[in-house]
């Protein structure tokens, strides 16, 4: 009976073939080259294979050498940073880098919420209205009495500022900016110009609430901040459109609290006002007075001046935001 052939699990090498060629064939080997009986299998497995053994020895030496190299490799000295190192790095950055001023950062926060407010209607003859008109024309390089920039049949009664307090287009401004206007238009920070209507007034605080008829896609309302902890000396900034130019930013401090102001005509007296020294001029009326976090503390409403020229001499007044927000029917605090 023919015996099954036995195959080594390892491949044969040329040396194995040469060794087989020099070995005499056993008498009981089959003529067709069949392998030896199964009893000869252990001898076949034990046959020396120099190629495999050399490779194994080389592999073992390589692994041992690599392990020795890793063990002897010098460890890197990783520095552990201390709080002193961090403080020194921060101080070096503050001394070498140019950082924006607190007022600049605050103005950037409030800028998307500030709007330009223009009222159209019969021309007012008050000194304030004439001064404001003169300033606007001079800023545009036009004669003092020029009206070439006004729509046919419409006269700018006043230019002021407003601040968005609700993303539905609710805007706070001064009542004297829009009082008596037949049309009101507001211009948002992105340039969108829209008509607006008066939805509420608070004459005792010279405040008006406007509702814009068209809104930007991403209107951002201002954040309001209580004045309960406000103190003289706190930094503030006024943002608005003095003489229609802007938005403009001026910085200063709170000069006093709970001040009173009587209009030059003597027709109205305002109380519980914030006094500040940030520059304000006609056109700033209705704009926000903000802290260094860009939060609205009040609405700029008046400047004190002993003359009829209505130019800034260092004393401005703002209605606290608590009163201003109540004019919109939503006291925030």
What is the C-alpha separation between 281 and 190, in angstroms, rounded? 24
What is the C-alpha separation between 178 and 208, in angstroms, rounded? 8
Task: Considering the candidates 16, 113, 206, 248, report the single residue annotated as catalytic.
Answer: 206
What is the C-alpha separation between 280 and 175, in angstroms, rounded? 17
What is the C-alpha separation between 12 and 35, in angstroms, rounded? 14
What is the C-alpha separation between 240 and 218, in angstroms, rounded? 21
Q: Which of 199, 209, 124, 131 is nearest to 175 (CA)?
A: 209
Specify the pairing of strand 156-166 against strand 170-174.
Answer: antiparallel
**What separation, in Å, do the N-terminal and C-terminal C-alpha atoms of the chain show?**
107
Concerning whether 16 is annotated as a catalytic residue, the answer is no
What is the C-alpha separation between 201 and 211, in angstroms, rounded? 12
Q: For 17, phi and psi rounded to 5 degrees?
A: -65, -40
Concerning whether 206 is annotated as a catalytic residue, the answer is yes
Task: Considering the candidates 16, 113, 176, 248, report the single residue annotated as catalytic.
Answer: 176
Q: Which residue has the tokens 């053994």?
A: 53
As given in the structure block, the two tokens for residue 312 are: 């800034």
Residues with Cβ within 8 Å of 217's Cβ and at least 6 positions away in sequence, in order, are none
Q: Which of 238, 327, 243 is nearest to 289 (CA)?
A: 238
Task: Considering the candidates 113, 181, 248, 285, report the single residue annotated as catalytic.
Answer: 285
**Enzyme catalytic residues:** 176, 206, 285
């Amino acid at each position: 009976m023919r015996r099954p052939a036995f195959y080594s699990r390892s491949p044969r090498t040329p040396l194995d073939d040469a060794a087989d060629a020099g070995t005499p064939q056993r008498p009981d080997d089959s003529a067709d080259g069949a392998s030896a009986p199964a009893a000869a299998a252990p001898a076949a497995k034990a046959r020396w294979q120099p190629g495999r053994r050399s490779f194994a020895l080389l592999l073992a030496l390589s692994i041992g050498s690599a392990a020795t190299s890793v063990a002897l490799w010098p460890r890197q000295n990783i520095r552990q940073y201390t709080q002193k190192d961090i403080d020194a790095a921060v101080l070096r950055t503050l001394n070498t880098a140019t950082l924006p001023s607190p007022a600049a950062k605050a103005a950037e926060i409030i800028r998307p919420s500030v709007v330009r407010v223009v009222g159209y209607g019969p021309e007012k003859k008050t000194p304030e209205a004439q001064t404001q008109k003169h300033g606007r024309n001079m800023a545009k390089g036009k004669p003092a009495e020029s009206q070439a920039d006004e729509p046919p049949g419409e006269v700018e009664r006043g230019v002021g500022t407003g601040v968005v307090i609700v993303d539905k287009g609710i805007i706070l401004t001064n009542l004297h900016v829009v009082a008596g206007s037949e049309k009101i238009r507001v211009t948002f920070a992105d340039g969108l110009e829209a008509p607006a209507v008066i939805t509420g007034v608070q004459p005792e605080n010279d405040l008006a609430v406007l509702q814009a008829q068209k809104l930007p896609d991403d209107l951002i309302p201002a954040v309001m901040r209580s004045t309960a902890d406000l103190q003289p000396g706190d930094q503030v900034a006024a943002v608005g459109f003095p003489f229609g130019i802007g938005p403009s930013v001026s910085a200063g401090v709170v000069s006093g609290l709970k001040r009173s102001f009587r209009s030059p005509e003597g027709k109205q007296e305002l109380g519980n006002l914030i006094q500040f020294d940030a520059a304000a001029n006609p056109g700033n009326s209705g704009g926000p007075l903000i802290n260094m976090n860009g939060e609205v503390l009040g609405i700029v409403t008046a400047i004190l001046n002993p003359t009829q020229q209505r130019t800034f001499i260092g004393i401005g007044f703002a209605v606290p935001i608590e009163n201003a927000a109540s004019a919109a029917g939503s006291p925030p605090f």
